[in-house]
Structure 1
Amino acid sequence: MNENNRAQVLLKIFSPLIAIALALLIGAIFILIAGANPIAAYAALIQQSLFTFFGFGDTLKKMTPLLFTSLGVMIALRGGLFNIGGEGQIYLGALGSTLVGLYVSGLPTFIHIPLALLAGFIFGGIWGLIPGYLKAVRGVNEVIATLLLNYIAVNLISYLVQNPLEEANAPSPYSPLIAESARLPVIFSGGFVHAGILLALIAAIVTWVLLELTPLGYQIMAVGFNPTASRYARIPVKRTMILVMVLAGGLAGLAGASEVMGLKYRLFEQVSPGFGFDAIAIAFLSRGSTIAVVLISLFFGALQSGARAMQSVAGVPVTIVYAIQGLMVLFIAIALAVESWVKFSKPQT
């Protein structure tokens, strides 16, 4: 291994850790500027989010949609595509599971739950299929397509919950409750943790197996690395691109389904507070590692869960947590730029 290759490996391993450390360090400076003690603030965050029954439950609850969606973003990145449409795919997945939960009745739980989850996956997958087809067949940039589809999805759900799906006499826009047979079971009451977290972890295992141990995973990686060479190798590049976006959308759709089926039991106008965009940061920080996606999703869930504790204990504004998340993305982007420079620079002789 020459010096360039060694530097690339070390950057890939340590860049996420360095990005997180630097973001927390600058976050500590912000906390000092705000007139608070950063040690007390971070201690409150960790204590509340990981070492209290309710707080850890809340962390797992927030981790669930983040993990589903970031797995989808990671799969797309492996295929050389940048899916920033996770937010819209979450909304469509929530719609699919809501429709099955509302209008398919008389089914036992062991059939109704999988059917509602499948609907969430299909609806999210369709929302991923659209930019996948446009990219593969028409050459439309997937960043633009997925970004615009986010707005369409959000406004579509807004229209539906204010009109045909609106609960009668509702004080705010939301749908009626889904059937009890379509609700995910609560695995422990602390933080209302539902079975969606188990499904998300299973999805992570399946994703790892798919990407690392199957011919399809190799095919996805080959297309992402060099689509031109893949065509010469008789890999169906267009079909692979479309499939990648369908899988990415389907996983994000499961995030929306889990929010409806496990937490809210109805479709709200604001299905997601930005899980789709947080998932982009998680996927980039993971550097293509499924295990890292799981751990960083937990970390982001803990940040969001403990933010209120930082505010109440140390007097730190909640917005500092969002600043820390943004700084992580900035530093990982810098690391990627440095890695690209190392990759293409010639080793010294």
Structure 2
Amino acid sequence: MNKMPKWADAVLIPLISILLAFLLSGLVIMAIGKDPVMAIKTMVQGAFGNSNNIGYTLYYTTNFIFTGLSVAVAYHARLFNIGSEGQAALGGLGVALVCLYVPWPHWAIALPAAMIGGAVFGAAWAFIPAYLQAKRGSHIVITTIMFNFIGSALIGYILLNYLKVPGSMSTESARFGAGAHLPTFHEMLAPFGIEFNKNAPVNVSFLIALLAAVGFYFLIWRTRLGYEIRAYGQSETAAKYAGINPVRIVVIAMLISGALSGLMAINNVMGEAERLIDNAVEGAGFIGIAVALMGRNHPIGIVLAALLFGFLYQGGGELSFWESIPRELVVVIQALVIMFTGALDNMVRAPLEKLFIALNKKKEA
């Protein structure tokens, strides 16, 4: 007998966890002498109040969808990929090289090439930890964390010595050509008579992220490879008995995971900045871990969790600006959401399981 229905595990537990996080956040805001009701109104207005704010919220959401899917693919194979940050950074290098050194005539041609560049570089950066895990037994958590720092240093070195514009004080590459400019929502919706703020950074990458979520679903639940990944994640011993090669699954799962992280660069590097900037990932790889956990490693949950964190990022920035609430407190609010939905998940799960067991027994009596 199941301890609780699937809908409760997928919806009720995350919802209660989020409410608890916001309740505690409200108490913290009250403790510093601010109005928590006004704070939440400011966050909602700042994230969804106009098309410019919505554009920024969806821009952050796009980044978190890619990194959330990245973490989830590896997690289904019982691999905890902490390296999405570094893989996304290397994906940015791949996108930048494609966009800088080829005179693209149109974005529709440049985008697929940039996607390949980002995915290949991201996958390549995930391959080494995957190989070390599969062949040498090196723990994937340790190696991927280390590769985040190595990747950051490598990007900084390449930018400073090879890609930086001569004479510029900024550690960034030259801007990409006009043919690599991705259409923003303002440009995409204008032909339909829909007005959208032209300064909002959300672009066609958001639609690519949604397609990636659909592709993730079909890969994991509708293909033989996806079945093998899930089987290996459930039981390595049983997977071996069924003829599944563990080395192959570890490497392939991590390659797909790294490729999804690398694809994030089409949004922040190609779409928003239109050049490669040092530390362009800005922590989105680590947020992807929380997004995957909150979304229960399912694409629908990941998209919704990514939207929540997009709201926290954009709304939190507006809260800090308009209500004079320290930016550090906004980070605390984000951390509380992560803590309740991740580390303290069992605090909500255990009582709910007991409740549903009691209800089931009462029905059977």
User: Is TM more than 0.5 here?
Assistant: yes
Residue pair 1:79, 1:241 contacting (<8 A) in 2 also: yes
Distance in structure 2 (CA, Å) of the matches to 1:232 and 1:113: 42
Query: Which residue pairs with 1:78 in the alignment?
Result: 76
1:93-137 Cα shifts (integer Å, max 9, x gaps): 000010111112355443222111110000001111111111111
1:237 aligns with 2:246: yes
Query: Which residue pairs with 1:180 in the alignment?
Result: 178
Taking the TM superposition and a 5 Å limit, the aligned residue runs for 1:14-33 are 14-33=12-31
Deviation at 1:159, TM superposition (A): 0.8
Taking the TM superposition and a 5 Å limit, the aligned residue runs for 1:197-208 are 197-208=206-217
Partner amino acid for 1:301?
G
Residue pair 1:7, 1:342 contacting (<8 A) in 2 also: no
Closer, same or farther: CA 322–132 of 1 in aligned 2, 3 Å: same
Q: Which 10-residue stretch deviates more, 159-168 or 82-91?
A: 159-168
Q: Secondary structure at the match of 2:244?
A: coil
Closer, same or farther: CA 106–44 of 1 in aligned 2, 3 Å: closer
Query: Which residue pairs with 1:325 in the alignment?
Result: 334
Closer, same or farther: CA 296–254 of 1 in aligned 2, 3 Å: same
What RMSD over aligned residues (CA atoms) do the two structures have, in Å? 2.2
Deviation at 1:337, TM superposition (A): 7.4
Distance in structure 1 (CA, Å) of the matches to 2:75 and 2:346: 14
Q: Which 10-residue stretch deviates more, 131-140 or 87-96?
A: 131-140
Distance in structure 2 (CA, Å) of the matches to 1:42 and 1:16: 19
Residue pair 1:186, 1:195 contacting (<8 A) in 2 also: yes
Distance in structure 2 (CA, Å) of the matches to 1:38 and 1:108: 48
Unpaired stretches in structure 2, ≥5 consecutive residues: 187-197
Distance in structure 1 (CA, Å) of the matches to 2:137 and 2:350: 25
Distance in structure 1 (CA, Å) of the matches to 2:270 and 2:283: 19
1:129 aligns with 2:127: yes
1:266 aligns with one of 264, 268, 275? 275
Query: Which residue pairs with 2:161 in the alignment?
Result: 163
1:182-227 Cα shifts (integer Å, max 9, x gaps): 2322222251221111111111111111112222211111111111
Query: Which residue pairs with 2:304 in the alignment?
Result: 295
Distance in structure 2 (CA, Å) of the matches to 1:112 and 1:106: 6
Q: Secondary structure at the match of 1:192?
A: coil
Aligned residues: 344
Q: Secondary structure at the match of 2:162?
A: coil
Query: Which residue pairs with 2:192 in the alignment?
Result: none
Q: Secondary structure at the match of 2:185?
A: strand
Taking the TM superposition and a 5 Å limit, the aligned residue runs for 1:248-263 are 248-263=257-272
Unpaired stretches in structure 1, ≥5 consecutive residues: none
Residue pair 1:41, 1:313 contacting (<8 A) in 2 also: no
1:309 aligns with 2:307: no
Residue pair 2:29, 2:36 contacting (<8 A) in 1 also: yes
Deviation at 1:9, TM superposition (A): 6.8
Distance in structure 2 (CA, Å) of the matches to 1:274 and 1:29: 27
Deviating beyond 6 angstroms after TM superposition, the runs of 4 or more aligned structure 1 residues are: 340-343
Calculate the TM-score normalised by the size of structure 1: 0.92
Residue pair 2:72, 2:297 contacting (<8 A) in 1 also: yes
Distance in structure 2 (CA, Å) of the matches to 1:316 and 1:115: 43
Deviation at 1:11, TM superposition (A): 4.1
Query: Which residue pairs with 1:196 in the alignment?
Result: 205
1:59-106 Cα shifts (integer Å, max 9, x gaps): 011111111111100111111100010100111000001011111235
2:236 aligns with one of 227, 245, 264? 227
Q: Which 10-residue stretch deviates more, 65-74 or 105-114?
A: 105-114
